[in-house]
Amino acid sequence: MQCSNCQFFNMPGSDACGRCGTSLRLSDAAIAVLPPRASPLQKRVRRIRSVWRNDRPAQNAFQRGPFACGVRNAVESGSHLALFLAAVIPGLPHLARGQNIRAHLFFWSFLLAITTALAMMGTYHSGLVLGLAFSIHSAAIADVVHQRYPTLQFRLRMLQGALVSAALVILIYAPIGFVIGSIAAPNIVSTQILPFQQGDVILVNRLARPAVGQIVLYALPDEGDPARLPQLREGQRLIVYVGRAADRILAGPGSVVECRKGVLYVDGRISENLPLNPVKLPDAWQATLPADTFFILPSALPRRPEERHNIEDSTNWLHLACIPRGGIVGRIVAQTHPLKQFHFVR
Protein backbone atom coordinates (compact mmCIF):
# COMPACT_ATOMS: atom_id res chain seq x y z
CA MET A 1 0.00 0.00 0.00
CA GLN A 2 1.50 3.29 -1.10
CA CYS A 3 1.18 6.29 1.21
CA SER A 4 -0.60 9.20 -0.46
CA ASN A 5 1.47 11.67 1.50
CA CYS A 6 5.08 10.47 1.18
CA GLN A 7 4.62 7.79 -1.49
CA PHE A 8 6.23 5.17 0.79
CA PHE A 9 5.32 1.54 0.04
CA ASN A 10 3.93 -0.01 3.22
CA MET A 11 3.22 -3.60 4.08
CA PRO A 12 -0.26 -4.78 3.10
CA GLY A 13 -2.74 -4.48 5.93
CA SER A 14 -0.97 -1.52 7.57
CA ASP A 15 -3.24 1.10 9.11
CA ALA A 16 -0.70 3.92 9.02
CA CYS A 17 2.32 4.81 6.93
CA GLY A 18 5.51 3.48 8.39
CA ARG A 19 7.45 6.56 7.37
CA CYS A 20 5.20 9.59 7.92
CA GLY A 21 2.40 8.12 10.02
CA THR A 22 -0.36 9.13 7.66
CA SER A 23 -3.46 6.96 7.92
CA LEU A 24 -3.74 4.50 5.08
CA ARG A 25 -7.47 4.10 5.55
CA LEU A 26 -8.46 7.69 4.91
CA SER A 27 -10.76 6.83 2.04
CA ASP A 28 -13.00 4.88 4.43
CA ALA A 29 -12.85 7.38 7.27
CA ALA A 30 -15.74 9.73 8.07
CA ILE A 31 -14.03 13.10 7.83
CA ALA A 32 -15.57 16.45 7.04
CA VAL A 33 -14.23 17.66 3.73
CA LEU A 34 -16.06 21.01 3.58
CA PRO A 35 -13.91 23.72 5.12
CA PRO A 36 -15.30 26.29 7.54
CA ARG A 37 -16.18 29.58 5.84
CA ALA A 38 -16.18 33.20 7.00
CA SER A 39 -19.26 35.36 6.48
CA PRO A 40 -18.89 38.66 4.57
CA LEU A 41 -19.41 40.54 7.84
CA GLN A 42 -16.65 38.57 9.51
CA LYS A 43 -14.33 39.34 6.61
CA ARG A 44 -15.12 43.03 6.85
CA VAL A 45 -14.55 43.14 10.61
CA ARG A 46 -11.27 41.26 10.20
CA ARG A 47 -10.12 43.69 7.54
CA ILE A 48 -10.77 46.66 9.81
CA ARG A 49 -9.05 44.93 12.72
CA SER A 50 -6.03 44.02 10.65
CA VAL A 51 -5.65 47.62 9.48
CA TRP A 52 -5.71 48.78 13.08
CA ARG A 53 -3.26 46.09 14.18
CA ASN A 54 -1.07 46.73 11.15
CA ASP A 55 -1.20 43.08 10.09
CA ARG A 56 -0.88 43.86 6.45
CA PRO A 57 0.66 46.92 4.83
CA ALA A 58 -1.99 47.46 2.18
CA GLN A 59 -5.42 46.80 3.53
CA ASN A 60 -7.59 49.86 3.11
CA ALA A 61 -8.58 51.67 -0.02
CA PHE A 62 -6.16 54.52 0.57
CA GLN A 63 -3.20 52.21 0.92
CA ARG A 64 -4.19 50.28 -2.19
CA GLY A 65 -4.76 53.50 -4.08
CA PRO A 66 -2.39 54.99 -6.63
CA PHE A 67 -1.39 57.89 -4.40
CA ALA A 68 -0.20 55.66 -1.56
CA CYS A 69 1.47 53.34 -4.05
CA GLY A 70 3.31 56.29 -5.53
CA VAL A 71 4.51 57.41 -2.11
CA ARG A 72 5.51 53.88 -1.20
CA ASN A 73 7.41 53.38 -4.41
CA ALA A 74 9.13 56.72 -3.92
CA VAL A 75 10.25 55.61 -0.46
CA GLU A 76 11.36 52.21 -1.69
CA SER A 77 13.19 53.59 -4.70
CA GLY A 78 15.71 55.08 -2.29
CA SER A 79 15.99 58.36 -4.18
CA HIS A 80 16.67 61.09 -1.65
CA LEU A 81 14.58 63.61 -3.54
CA ALA A 82 11.67 61.18 -3.80
CA LEU A 83 12.05 60.33 -0.15
CA PHE A 84 12.02 63.97 0.80
CA LEU A 85 9.00 64.72 -1.36
CA ALA A 86 7.18 61.76 0.16
CA ALA A 87 7.90 63.03 3.63
CA VAL A 88 6.51 66.54 3.15
CA ILE A 89 3.44 65.44 5.08
CA PRO A 90 4.61 63.77 8.30
CA GLY A 91 3.28 60.24 8.67
CA LEU A 92 2.27 59.87 5.04
CA PRO A 93 5.13 57.50 4.10
CA HIS A 94 4.33 55.45 7.19
CA LEU A 95 0.68 55.25 6.25
CA ALA A 96 1.61 54.21 2.74
CA ARG A 97 3.90 51.54 4.13
CA GLY A 98 1.12 50.31 6.41
CA GLN A 99 2.62 51.53 9.69
CA ASN A 100 -0.65 52.96 10.83
CA ILE A 101 0.09 53.67 14.48
CA ARG A 102 3.30 55.55 13.70
CA ALA A 103 1.57 57.36 10.88
CA HIS A 104 -1.26 58.52 13.11
CA LEU A 105 1.11 59.49 15.92
CA PHE A 106 3.35 61.55 13.65
CA PHE A 107 0.55 63.16 11.68
CA TRP A 108 -1.80 64.11 14.50
CA SER A 109 0.92 65.30 16.88
CA PHE A 110 2.40 67.41 14.09
CA LEU A 111 -1.02 68.77 13.15
CA LEU A 112 -1.76 69.64 16.78
CA ALA A 113 1.59 71.38 17.22
CA ILE A 114 1.46 73.31 13.96
CA THR A 115 -2.16 74.38 14.52
CA THR A 116 -1.33 75.57 18.02
CA ALA A 117 1.71 77.41 16.70
CA LEU A 118 -0.37 79.12 14.03
CA ALA A 119 -3.08 80.01 16.53
CA MET A 120 -0.50 81.53 18.84
CA MET A 121 1.47 83.14 16.01
CA GLY A 122 3.35 86.23 17.08
CA THR A 123 3.52 85.31 20.75
CA TYR A 124 6.48 84.00 22.68
CA HIS A 125 5.01 80.49 23.06
CA SER A 126 4.45 80.23 19.32
CA GLY A 127 8.17 79.75 18.71
CA LEU A 128 8.35 76.90 21.19
CA VAL A 129 5.40 75.06 19.73
CA LEU A 130 6.64 75.65 16.19
CA GLY A 131 9.97 74.13 17.23
CA LEU A 132 8.10 71.12 18.56
CA ALA A 133 6.23 70.74 15.26
CA PHE A 134 9.53 70.96 13.38
CA SER A 135 11.04 68.29 15.63
CA ILE A 136 8.12 65.94 14.99
CA HIS A 137 8.45 66.53 11.26
CA SER A 138 12.20 65.86 11.31
CA ALA A 139 11.70 62.75 13.43
CA ALA A 140 9.10 61.43 10.99
CA ILE A 141 11.49 61.82 8.06
CA ALA A 142 14.44 60.44 10.01
CA ASP A 143 12.34 57.40 10.91
CA VAL A 144 11.59 56.73 7.24
CA VAL A 145 15.28 57.15 6.38
CA HIS A 146 16.23 54.78 9.15
CA GLN A 147 13.78 52.18 7.91
CA ARG A 148 15.07 52.57 4.38
CA TYR A 149 18.69 52.15 5.49
CA PRO A 150 18.49 50.00 8.63
CA THR A 151 22.15 49.01 8.55
CA LEU A 152 23.50 52.54 8.40
CA GLN A 153 26.18 53.47 10.93
CA PHE A 154 25.19 55.71 13.82
CA ARG A 155 27.32 58.64 12.63
CA LEU A 156 26.00 58.43 9.12
CA ARG A 157 22.48 58.21 10.46
CA MET A 158 23.05 61.34 12.55
CA LEU A 159 24.51 63.09 9.52
CA GLN A 160 21.56 62.06 7.45
CA GLY A 161 19.18 63.35 10.14
CA ALA A 162 20.96 66.70 10.17
CA LEU A 163 20.84 66.90 6.37
CA VAL A 164 17.16 66.07 6.37
CA SER A 165 16.46 68.79 8.94
CA ALA A 166 18.49 71.32 6.97
CA ALA A 167 16.70 70.43 3.75
CA LEU A 168 13.39 70.69 5.57
CA VAL A 169 14.23 74.22 6.73
CA ILE A 170 15.57 75.38 3.37
CA LEU A 171 12.99 73.82 1.10
CA ILE A 172 9.82 73.85 3.17
CA TYR A 173 9.86 75.95 6.32
CA ALA A 174 11.77 78.95 4.96
CA PRO A 175 9.60 79.39 1.82
CA ILE A 176 6.40 78.86 3.80
CA GLY A 177 7.67 81.27 6.46
CA PHE A 178 8.46 83.82 3.77
CA VAL A 179 5.00 83.50 2.25
CA ILE A 180 3.28 83.71 5.63
CA GLY A 181 5.50 86.67 6.56
CA SER A 182 4.35 88.41 3.39
CA ILE A 183 0.64 87.75 3.41
CA ALA A 184 -0.05 87.36 7.12
CA ALA A 185 2.86 88.72 9.10
CA PRO A 186 2.15 88.69 12.83
CA ASN A 187 2.60 92.04 14.58
CA ILE A 188 2.34 92.60 18.30
CA VAL A 189 0.56 95.81 19.25
CA SER A 190 3.11 97.53 21.47
CA THR A 191 0.96 100.51 22.51
CA GLN A 192 -2.78 100.79 22.57
CA ILE A 193 -4.21 101.45 19.10
CA LEU A 194 -7.94 101.32 19.65
CA PRO A 195 -9.70 98.98 19.14
CA PHE A 196 -6.53 96.92 19.53
CA GLN A 197 -5.06 96.65 22.99
CA GLN A 198 -1.46 96.43 23.98
CA GLY A 199 -0.22 92.85 23.54
CA ASP A 200 -2.75 91.88 20.88
CA VAL A 201 -1.42 90.14 17.79
CA ILE A 202 -2.62 91.27 14.39
CA LEU A 203 -1.87 89.70 11.02
CA VAL A 204 -0.77 92.13 8.32
CA ASN A 205 -0.84 91.40 4.60
CA ARG A 206 2.16 93.26 3.24
CA LEU A 207 1.44 92.33 -0.37
CA ALA A 208 -2.06 93.83 -0.47
CA ARG A 209 -2.40 97.08 -2.45
CA PRO A 210 -3.77 99.80 -0.21
CA ALA A 211 -7.31 100.83 -1.11
CA VAL A 212 -9.96 103.12 0.32
CA GLY A 213 -11.92 101.43 3.11
CA GLN A 214 -9.14 99.10 4.22
CA ILE A 215 -7.82 99.10 7.74
CA VAL A 216 -4.07 99.36 7.48
CA LEU A 217 -0.99 99.42 9.61
CA TYR A 218 1.08 102.43 8.71
CA ALA A 219 4.13 104.34 9.86
CA LEU A 220 3.38 107.77 11.23
CA PRO A 221 5.03 110.50 9.16
CA ASP A 222 8.29 111.85 10.40
CA GLU A 223 8.03 115.16 12.21
CA GLY A 224 11.13 116.35 10.44
CA ASP A 225 13.81 118.53 11.93
CA PRO A 226 13.12 119.09 15.65
CA ALA A 227 14.50 122.60 15.31
CA ARG A 228 11.63 123.53 13.05
CA LEU A 229 9.05 122.54 15.60
CA PRO A 230 7.05 125.48 16.95
CA GLN A 231 8.30 127.29 20.01
CA LEU A 232 6.20 126.42 23.01
CA ARG A 233 4.84 129.04 25.33
CA GLU A 234 4.49 128.47 28.98
CA GLY A 235 1.69 126.00 29.73
CA GLN A 236 1.76 124.58 26.24
CA ARG A 237 2.98 121.09 25.47
CA LEU A 238 4.13 119.41 22.33
CA ILE A 239 3.08 115.85 21.51
CA VAL A 240 5.20 114.04 18.91
CA TYR A 241 3.81 110.80 17.50
CA VAL A 242 6.31 108.25 16.30
CA GLY A 243 6.10 104.62 15.36
CA ARG A 244 3.17 102.84 13.81
CA ALA A 245 -0.56 103.26 13.94
CA ALA A 246 -3.56 101.48 12.55
CA ASP A 247 -6.64 103.04 11.02
CA ARG A 248 -8.93 103.05 8.03
CA ILE A 249 -8.03 104.66 4.69
CA LEU A 250 -10.69 107.28 4.04
CA ALA A 251 -9.53 108.70 0.70
CA GLY A 252 -7.08 107.79 -1.99
CA PRO A 253 -4.52 109.78 -4.03
CA GLY A 254 -5.88 112.86 -5.87
CA SER A 255 -9.12 112.95 -3.90
CA VAL A 256 -10.51 116.22 -2.61
CA VAL A 257 -11.20 115.92 1.09
CA GLU A 258 -13.25 118.52 2.89
CA CYS A 259 -15.17 118.91 6.08
CA ARG A 260 -18.38 120.84 6.50
CA LYS A 261 -20.19 121.05 9.82
CA GLY A 262 -18.27 118.08 11.16
CA VAL A 263 -19.13 115.84 8.19
CA LEU A 264 -16.35 114.45 6.00
CA TYR A 265 -16.77 114.79 2.24
CA VAL A 266 -14.60 112.96 -0.29
CA ASP A 267 -14.80 114.26 -3.86
CA GLY A 268 -17.95 116.19 -2.97
CA ARG A 269 -19.80 113.19 -1.53
CA ILE A 270 -20.26 112.17 2.08
CA SER A 271 -17.56 109.66 2.89
CA GLU A 272 -18.85 106.09 3.07
CA ASN A 273 -16.00 105.13 5.37
CA LEU A 274 -15.45 106.17 8.95
CA PRO A 275 -12.29 106.11 11.04
CA LEU A 276 -11.91 103.32 13.59
CA ASN A 277 -12.78 105.61 16.49
CA PRO A 278 -15.21 108.51 16.52
CA VAL A 279 -13.46 111.89 16.28
CA LYS A 280 -14.66 115.47 16.11
CA LEU A 281 -13.35 116.89 12.86
CA PRO A 282 -12.25 120.53 12.45
CA ASP A 283 -14.86 122.51 10.58
CA ALA A 284 -14.60 124.17 7.16
CA TRP A 285 -11.40 122.98 5.63
CA GLN A 286 -10.54 121.45 2.31
CA ALA A 287 -7.48 119.69 0.97
CA THR A 288 -6.49 117.90 -2.21
CA LEU A 289 -4.40 114.83 -1.64
CA PRO A 290 -1.15 114.67 -3.62
CA ALA A 291 -0.27 111.62 -5.73
CA ASP A 292 0.62 108.43 -3.84
CA THR A 293 -0.84 109.82 -0.66
CA PHE A 294 -3.70 108.37 1.35
CA PHE A 295 -5.94 110.14 3.84
CA ILE A 296 -6.06 108.33 7.19
CA LEU A 297 -7.46 110.17 10.20
CA PRO A 298 -5.32 109.26 13.20
CA SER A 299 -8.33 108.45 15.35
CA ALA A 300 -6.66 105.57 17.14
CA LEU A 301 -3.69 107.54 18.47
CA PRO A 302 -3.56 107.75 22.23
CA ARG A 303 -4.60 111.14 23.57
CA ARG A 304 -5.59 112.56 26.87
CA PRO A 305 -9.08 111.50 27.92
CA GLU A 306 -10.49 115.02 27.60
CA GLU A 307 -9.30 115.41 24.03
CA ARG A 308 -9.96 111.88 22.88
CA HIS A 309 -12.86 112.84 20.59
CA ASN A 310 -11.49 116.14 19.47
CA ILE A 311 -8.92 115.90 16.75
CA GLU A 312 -8.53 119.70 16.60
CA ASP A 313 -6.53 119.56 19.79
CA SER A 314 -3.85 117.49 18.14
CA THR A 315 -1.21 119.69 16.66
CA ASN A 316 -0.47 119.34 13.01
CA TRP A 317 -3.21 116.71 12.53
CA LEU A 318 -3.41 117.17 8.77
CA HIS A 319 0.26 116.32 8.55
CA LEU A 320 -0.50 113.16 10.51
CA ALA A 321 -3.46 112.26 8.26
CA CYS A 322 -1.68 112.40 4.90
CA ILE A 323 0.24 109.15 4.61
CA PRO A 324 2.45 108.41 1.60
CA ARG A 325 2.07 105.01 -0.07
CA GLY A 326 5.47 103.94 1.18
CA GLY A 327 4.40 104.56 4.75
CA ILE A 328 1.65 101.99 4.63
CA VAL A 329 2.99 98.71 6.00
CA GLY A 330 0.09 96.52 4.94
CA ARG A 331 -3.52 95.66 5.32
CA ILE A 332 -4.62 94.30 8.70
CA VAL A 333 -6.23 90.94 7.99
CA ALA A 334 -7.12 89.51 11.36
CA GLN A 335 -6.58 89.68 15.06
CA THR A 336 -5.29 86.34 16.33
CA HIS A 337 -4.37 86.95 19.93
CA PRO A 338 -6.01 86.68 22.42
CA LEU A 339 -7.58 83.66 20.79
CA LYS A 340 -11.06 84.28 22.18
CA GLN A 341 -11.04 87.65 20.42
CA PHE A 342 -10.00 86.19 17.08
CA HIS A 343 -11.75 87.91 14.21
CA PHE A 344 -11.11 88.93 10.64
CA VAL A 345 -10.73 92.68 10.25
CA ARG A 346 -12.91 94.23 7.59
Partner 1 sequence: MSRFNRLEFEPSRKPPADAPSAEPQARRITPDPDHDEHHWLKLAEAQRRLGQYENALRFYSRALEWDKSVVSGWVGQVRMLIALEEYPEAELWARKALELFKNNADLLAGRAQALSRLAKMKDALGSSDASINQPGHGSYPWLVRGELMLARGEKTADYCFGKAMQMDGDWLLLLEIGQTHLHYGHAASGLEPTRRAVQRAPDQVLAWYCQGQCEAALGLSDAATVSFERCLDLLPDYADARIALEQLSRAKPVRGFLKTWFGLK
What is the binding site for partner 1 (CB under 8 A)?
4-5, 20-23, 26-27, 29-38, 43, 46-47, 50, 53-58, 60-70, 72-73, 76, 96-98, 147
Nearer to partner 1, 28 or 234 (CB): 28
CA atoms within 13 A on the CB side of 65: 8
Q: Tell me which amino acid residue 13 is.
A: G
CB contact at 8 A, 208 and 184: no
48 CB-near residues (< 8 Å, 6+ apart): none
Distance (Å, whole) CA 47 – CA 100: 14
Q: Tell me which amino acid residue 188 is.
A: I
Nearer to partner 1, 97 or 303 (CB): 97
* Burial of 242 per CB tally in 10 Å (0-12, 13-18, 19+): exposed
Least distance from C-beta 37 to partner 1, angstroms?
A: 6
Least distance from C-beta 40 to partner 1, angstroms?
A: 11
Nearer to partner 1, 58 or 287 (CB): 58
Nearer to partner 1, 72 or 137 (CB): 72
Least distance from C-beta 55 to partner 1, angstroms?
A: 4
CB contact at 8 A, 10 and 24: yes
Nearer to partner 1, 59 or 123 (CB): 59
Least distance from C-beta 34 to partner 1, angstroms?
A: 5
Least distance from C-beta 145 to partner 1, angstroms?
A: 15
Least distance from C-beta 149 to partner 1, angstroms?
A: 12
Q: Which residues of 166-191 are buried (b: 16+ CB within 10 A; e: fewer)?
A: ebbeeeeeeeeeeeeeebbbbbebee
Nearer to partner 1, 34 or 284 (CB): 34
267: left (phi over 0), alpha (psi -120 to 50) or beta: left
Give how far the C-alpha of residue 84 lies from the chain's centroid of Cα atoms, to the nearest Å: 20
